[in-house]
């Protein structure tokens, strides 16, 4: 049952008074008081140490707790509780958020809190304070150094039971180095981080030259240096911000085009704009791709980790220009963002908008005052200590009388008085002697005291010199800043660009045009396409991978076929091949992709050459190890990725394949027993794909065909043969190479044995390589490097010269064989 209560009657001397007030004035006054409280006590940083009250209280509390860098971490909740209970009664959430930001390397250029645990990322928040741990970072010691030397004023805390520093001594310009952001009532601040070395360089220049202009200071501080790196595009807004305190600049991600796989290129992002996370960029790209507002994106993978840092891989579809896609990403996603500078900070308790020179001026004046107050404090302490040491030295000189006076005195006051009278000491000196332990009264202690007195006099003289000369005081401040820059400075992370340059889409189309090009196959199995259809140079400096086995002229969006030793053709899209830069007279396939990235062949099967799928060809000529020749009708099934070119018998394989642009060529076989046979291509009738071919060359007992190809009889052709031993290990054959003019070998009919092309020397019993074609020809060593061949001997039965290296292949000007080649 509820109890009835009655109001308490007012006291007898109570007098009721009702005051009429204007509600409008009361609301205005209350709001202004609240606004000033928010501006001064929460939202805006102080221009001297660059800290908001909550940040300053966190650093001061952690310093008082002894959480130095060399000590262990403590739970963040303990730090938050200490700050909230003693200095900042505004809730634990605000305190922990400020603590977390001071520990994030992607938020501050020089973090002042060393966090242990999950302190978040640009995309995700931190773990709860009960899980994370913290301690002061080395940079925080520079902020709190000399607090106990009367360098700054202390003010009462919220309940007047403790005191806290009004501002921290700040041994470096923290406001410019780490920046600040905050929203007050009617105003806000947003300051960009800068490089410590650059800011200190500008501050030292201002100390030495108080009348320095903004242009002089910008030689040291050309622009912000963001913690996440990236690129700043356009410097006009930075100049305006440094001059007026307000300005805007654009930040761009750092990205490069790489070969993600041998068949596909992609954009790799390693740095993002300030406050932008990879997950935010990834989600935006996915949304734009689904809405078909951006084209050419196949996949987006975030590979960011703590070991390798930021790595966002954007895979580009085949047929799209990666540079043009990157320009789209800059335009439509947060990979390019704007940053608005609004340098609002408290100066003498009032919010002001400051330019670069004003910010440095406020800090320099403050730091000079801190060093002056510190020097005065140290001077007073050293003078006080010297006074005591001098009194102790006087007592030690006549220690027996001192002891006698003390023993004969009735109490401490009497002893103090007699000591001051007998030895002409001050009260402080006499009190210090009375409190001294007897073990200090030794000869060794006297020597130590004399050294200490001498050192104190030297320090006092130096401090008086600093305090008596404004120039010396400024030099001390400048030298201390230089030491901070040397100990804590790091290289610049953000690249400054005067302009972004012309957009890629203005000069480069988004999709790769179907322009003519060449598809190349090297002797080491590398595939690539050229950027244009420029004729391939036949001479010039060559490097490894430059020996081109096959070259097909096609278009960037066309298709070619890979012809294998098992008599099969595999369709290949030209768009999937890596594009080579312009040849400049010396083509190189070092940027090509291996065959294994495009075709998976069983053991024992290899790719012999490339074949065009254009209808203009008269067919493909094939030759097998068993001496079979076949001309394949140019019939390419459109819906199949793989088809058969010849029906092979057991144990047989294709040793050569060549695309014929005309029938006016000679087909040629070279056998292992050094026989050469060539006959007109017109003598071989075209057959369908399943056919098994017809007799090409008549082989001797145990012999096989080692090479098959086509030669233009009108060209200046040569025959290259390399002899070796069947018993030698692969690549170690001690053979000889021979180069003979094509005209030395008469033509024979198809299915005959041909003529001899090489005479074996001692230790040689087989041809390990043969080739015929137009000069100049080049040999490819077993490691893929190009070798020059000897000049033609003109002797059909000559033995040749020793091979300079184990030769794996011979190449010539590649392309479809025709009289004009």
Q: What CATH number does residue 658 fall under?
A: 2.120.10.90
Give CA–CA dist 231/225, Å, rounded: 9
Instruction: Look at residue 95 and tell me if it is in a domain.
Output: yes
Residues 643 and 765 both lie in one domain: yes
Whole-number Å distance between alpha carbons of 781 and 546:
11
**pLDDT of the residue at 601:** 85
- Look at residue 34 in the predicted model and tell me its pLDDT: 67
Same domain, 636 and 740: yes
278 shares a domain with 163 = no
- Write out the DSSP string of 150-172: T-S-EEE-TTSSSEEESS---SS
Q: For residue 771, what are the β-bridge partners?
A: 720
Q: What is the CA radius of gyration of the chain?
A: 44
pLDDT single digits (tens) 241-271: 999 999 999 999 999 998 888 778 899 999 9
- Give residue 733's pLDDT: 60
282 and 165 housed in the same domain: no
CA distance 232 to 500: 9
pLDDT of residue 1: 47
Distance CA 797, CA 745 (A): 11
Residue 241 in any domain: the answer is: no
Residue 15: inside a domain: no
- Contact between 192 and 109 (Cβ < 8 Å): no
Residue 502 pLDDT > 90? no
122-126, 210-214, 274-278, 811-815 — which is least confidently predicted? 811-815
DSSP per-residue letters across 289-350: HHTTSS-SEEEEEE--BTTTB--EEEEEPTTB-HHHHHHHHHHHSTTEEEEEEE-EEEETTE
Q: What pLDDT is attached to residue 189?
A: 92
Mean pLDDT, residues 720-732: 77
With CA atoms as reference, report the closest residue to 646 among 584, 556, 717, 564: 564
Residue among 222, 334, 339 nearest 272 (CA): 334
Please give, one letter per residue, the 3-state secondary structure of 80-93.
HHHHHHHCCCCCHH
Tell me how crowded residue 407 is: count the other CB atoms within 10 A of its CB. 8
Q: Is residue 606 a part of any domain in this protein? A: yes
Residues 262 and 164 in one domain: no
Q: What percent of the chain has pLDDT over 70?
A: 87
Check residue 738 and give its pLDDT. 87
Q: Which of 304, 319, 334 is the last residue of a domain?
A: 334
Residue recorded with tokens 């980790």: 305
Q: Determine, yes or no, domain membership for 267.
A: yes
Domain closes at, from 148, 169, 190: 169
Same domain, 629 and 771: yes
Output 22 or 223, whichever has higher pLDDT: 223
Tell me the per-residue pLDDT of 195-215, one tens digit each, with 9 for 90 and over. Answer: 999 999 999 999 999 999 999
- Residue 5 maps to a domain: no
- Residue 445 confidence class, pLDDT cut points 50, 70, 90: confident
- Tell me, yes or no, if 131 is annotated catalytic: yes
764 Cβ neighbours under 8 A, 6+ residues apart: 723, 724, 725, 735, 736
Tell whether 650 and 779 lie within a shared domain. Answer: yes
Prior bond of 154 cis (ω within 30°): no
Nearest to 599, CA basis, from 632, 565, 628, 636:
565
Strands 642-644, 620-624: pairing kind: unpaired
Place of tokens 């278009």: 555
When pLDDT is cut at 50, 70 and 90, the band that residue 760 belongs to is confident
Q: How far apart are CA 708 and CA 700, in angstroms?
A: 17
DSSP assigned state of 440? G
For residue 210, the tally of other CB atoms under 10 A from its CB is: 9
- Confidence at residue 74, expressed as pLDDT on a 0 to 100 scale: 97
- In this structure, the answer to whether residues 715 and 585 fall within a common structural domain is yes
What lies within 8 Å, CB to CB, of 545 at 6+ separation is 522, 523, 524, 526, 588, 589, 590, 592, 784
Question: Would you tell me how many other CB atoms lie within 10 Å of the CB of residue 214?
Answer: 13
Average pLDDT over residues 59-72: 95
Mean pLDDT throughout 29-37? 68
CA distances, 778 to each of 547, 773, 792, 808, 816 (Å): 7, 11, 13, 11, 18
CB atoms within 10 A of CB 309: 12
Separation CA 812–CA 814 (nearest Å): 6
Residue 714 domain boundaries: 516-811
- Say whether pLDDT at 815 is over 60: no
Kindly tell me if the per-residue pLDDT of 684 is higher than 60.
Answer: yes
pLDDT at 817: 40
Rounded Cα distance, 364 and 343, in Å? 17
Percent of the chain residues past pLDDT 90, beyond the cut = 50
Q: What is the CATH number of the domain that holds 265?
A: 3.30.1360.40
- The more confidently predicted of residues 120 and 1 is 120
Range of lowest pLDDT (201-210, 523-532, 642-651, 779-788): 779-788
Look at the block and give the residue holding tokens 């102790």.
392
3-state secondary structure string across 553-600: EEECCCEEEEEECCCEEEEEEHHHCCEECCCCCCCCCCCCEEHHHCCC
> Catalytic pick from 14, 34, 40, 131?
131
Query: What pLDDT, on the 0 to 100 scale, is given for residue 10?
Result: 73
Give the residue from 169, 185, 220 where a domain finishes.
169
818 membership: H or E segment, kind and range: none
Place of tokens 């947003």: 190
Domain count, the chain: 3
Phi, psi of 544 (to 5 degrees): -60, 145
The CATH number assigned to the domain holding 116 equals: 3.90.199.10
Tell whether 258 and 164 lie within a shared domain. no
Q: Across residues 152-173, what is the average pLDDT?
A: 94
User: Which tokens belong to 106?
Assistant: 């992607």
- Cα-flanking dihedrals φ and ψ of residue 391, to 5°? -65, -40
Within 8 A by CB and 6+ apart from 77, the residues are 92, 129, 130
271 and 148 part of one domain:
no
Q: How far is CA 491 from CA 21, 109, 110, 206, in A?
A: 61, 11, 12, 22
**Neighbour count for residue 804 (Cβ, 10 Å):** 13
3-state secondary structure of 502: coil
Tokens of 247: 């300005």
- 656 and 756 assigned to the same domain: yes
- 548: number of Cβ within 10 Å: 25
Q: Please answer whether residues 786 and 780 qualify as being in contact, where contact means their C-beta atoms are separated by less than 8 angstroms.
A: yes
Structure tokens at 142: 């520079």
Contact 168, 51 (CB under 8 A): yes
pLDDT band at 320 (very low <50, low <70, confident <90, very high): confident
Per-residue pLDDT of 143-152, as tens digits, reads 999 999 999 9
Question: Looking at the chain, how many residues does it have?
Answer: 821
Domain contains 489: no
The SS3 of residue 663 is coil
Backbone conformation region of residue 712, classed left if phi is above 0, alpha if psi is from -120 to 50, else beta = beta
Query: CA 322, 324, 330, 333 torsion: positive or negative?
Result: negative
pLDDT tens per residue across span 334-389: 999 999 999 999 999 889 999 999 999 999 999 999 999 999 999 999 999 999 99
Mean per-residue pLDDT of the chain: 86
Position 46 in a domain: no
Residue 450 pLDDT > 80 = yes
Task: Give the whole-angstrom CA distance, residue 622 versus residue 636.
Answer: 16
- Between 589 and 266, whose confidence is greater? 266
Q: Which two tokens stand for residue 169?
A: 């001594």
């Amino acid at each position: 049952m509820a109890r009835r209560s009655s109001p308490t009657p007012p006291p007898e001397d109570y007098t009721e008074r009702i005051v009429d007030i204007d509600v409008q004035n009361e609301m205005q006054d209350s709001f202004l008081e609240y606004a000033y409280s928010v501006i001064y006590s929460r939202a805006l940083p102080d221009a001297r140490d660059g800290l908001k009250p909550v940040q300053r209280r966190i650093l001061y509390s952690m310093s008082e707790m002894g959480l130095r860098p060399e000590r262990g971490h403590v739970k963040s909740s303990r730090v938050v509780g200490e700050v909230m209970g003693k200095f900042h009664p505004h809730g634990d959430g605000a305190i922990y958020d400020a603590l977390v930001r001071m520990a994030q390397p992607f938020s501050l250029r020089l973090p002042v809190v060393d966090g242990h645990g999950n302190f978040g990322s640009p995309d995700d928040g931190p773990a709860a304070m009960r899980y994370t741990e913290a301690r002061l970072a080395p940079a925080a010691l520079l902020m709190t150094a000399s607090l106990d030397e009367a360098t700054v004023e202390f003010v009462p805390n919220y309940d007047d039971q403790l005191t806290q520093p009004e501002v921290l001594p700040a041994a470096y310009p923290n406001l410019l180095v780490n920046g600040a952001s905050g929203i007050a009532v009617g105003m806000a601040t947003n300051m960009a981080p800068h490089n410590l070395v650059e800011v200190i360089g500008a501050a030292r220049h201002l100390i030495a030259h108080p009348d320095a202009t903004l242009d002089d200071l910008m030689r040291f501080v050309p622009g912000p240096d963001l913690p996440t790196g990236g690129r700043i595009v356009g410097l006009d807004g930075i100049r305006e911000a440094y001059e007026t305190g307000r300005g805007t600049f654009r930040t761009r991600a750092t990205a490069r085009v790489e070969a993600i796989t041998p068949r596909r290129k992609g954009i790799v992002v390693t740095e993002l704009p300030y406050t932008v996370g990879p997950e935010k960029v990834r989600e935006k790209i996915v949304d734009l791709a689904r809405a078909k507002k951006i084209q050419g994106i196949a996949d987006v993978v975030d590979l960011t980790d703590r070991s390798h840092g930021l790595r966002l891989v954007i895979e580009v579809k085949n047929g799209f220009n990666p540079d043009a896609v990157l320009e789209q990403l800059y335009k439509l996603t947060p990979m390019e963002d704007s940053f608005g500078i609004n340098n609002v900070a408290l100066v003498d308790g009032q919010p002001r908008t400051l330019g670069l020179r004003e910010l440095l001026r406020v800090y320099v004046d403050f730091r000079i005052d801190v060093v002056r107050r510190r020097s005065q404090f140290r001077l007073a302490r050293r003078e006080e200590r010297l006074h005591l040491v001098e009194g102790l030295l006087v007592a030690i000189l006549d220690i027996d009388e001192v002891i006698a006076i003390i023993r004969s005195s009735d109490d401490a006051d009497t002893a103090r008085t007699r000591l001051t009278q007998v030895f002409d000491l001050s009260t402080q000196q006499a009190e210090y002697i009375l409190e001294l332990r007897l073990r200090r009264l030794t000869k060794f202690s006297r020597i130590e005291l004399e050294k200490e007195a001498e050192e104190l006099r030297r320090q006092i003289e130096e401090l008086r010199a600093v305090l008596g000369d404004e120039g010396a005081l400024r030099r001390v401040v400048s030298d201390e800043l230089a030491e901070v820059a040397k100990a804590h400075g790091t290289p610049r992370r953000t690249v400054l660009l005067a302009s972004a340059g012309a957009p890629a889409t203005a000069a480069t189309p988004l999709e790769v045009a179907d322009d003519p090009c060449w598809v190349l196959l090297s002797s080491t199995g590398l595939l690539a396409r050229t950027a244009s259809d420029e004729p391939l140079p036949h001479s010039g400096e060559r490097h490894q991978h430059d020996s081109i086995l096959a070259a097909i002229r096609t278009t960037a969006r066309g298709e070619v076929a890979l012809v294998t030793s098992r008599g099969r053709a595999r369709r290949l899209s030209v768009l999937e091949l890596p594009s080579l830069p312009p040849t400049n007279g010396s083509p190189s396939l070092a940027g090509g992709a291996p065959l294994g990235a495009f075709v998976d062949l069983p053991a024992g099967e290899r790719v012999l050459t490339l074949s065009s799928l254009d209808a203009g060809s008269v067919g493909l000529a094939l030759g097998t190890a068993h001496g079979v020749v076949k001309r394949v009708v140019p019939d390419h099934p459109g819906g199949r990725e793989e088809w058969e070119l010849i029906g092979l018998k057991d144990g047989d394989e294709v040793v050569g394949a060549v695309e014929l642009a005309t029938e006016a060529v000679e087909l040629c076989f070279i056998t292992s027993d050094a026989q050469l046979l060539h006959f007109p291509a017109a003598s071989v009738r075209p057959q369908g794909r399943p056919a098994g071919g017809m007799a090409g060359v008549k082989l001797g007992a145990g012999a096989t065909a080692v090479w098959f190809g086509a030669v233009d009889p009108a060209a200046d052709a040569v025959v290259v043969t390399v002899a070796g031993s069947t018993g030698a290990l692969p690549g170690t054959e001690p053979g000889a190479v021979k180069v003979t003019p094509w005209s030395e070998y008469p033509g024979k009919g198809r299915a005959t044995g041909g003529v001899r092309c090489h005479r074996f020397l001692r230790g040689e019993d087989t041809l390990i390589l043969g080739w015929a074609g137009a000069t100049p020809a080049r040999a490819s060593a077993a490691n893929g490097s190009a070798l020059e061949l000897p000049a033609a001997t003109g002797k059909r039965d000559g033995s040749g010269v020793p091979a300079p290296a184990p030769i794996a292949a011979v190449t010539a000007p590649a392309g479809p064989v025709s009289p004009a080649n």
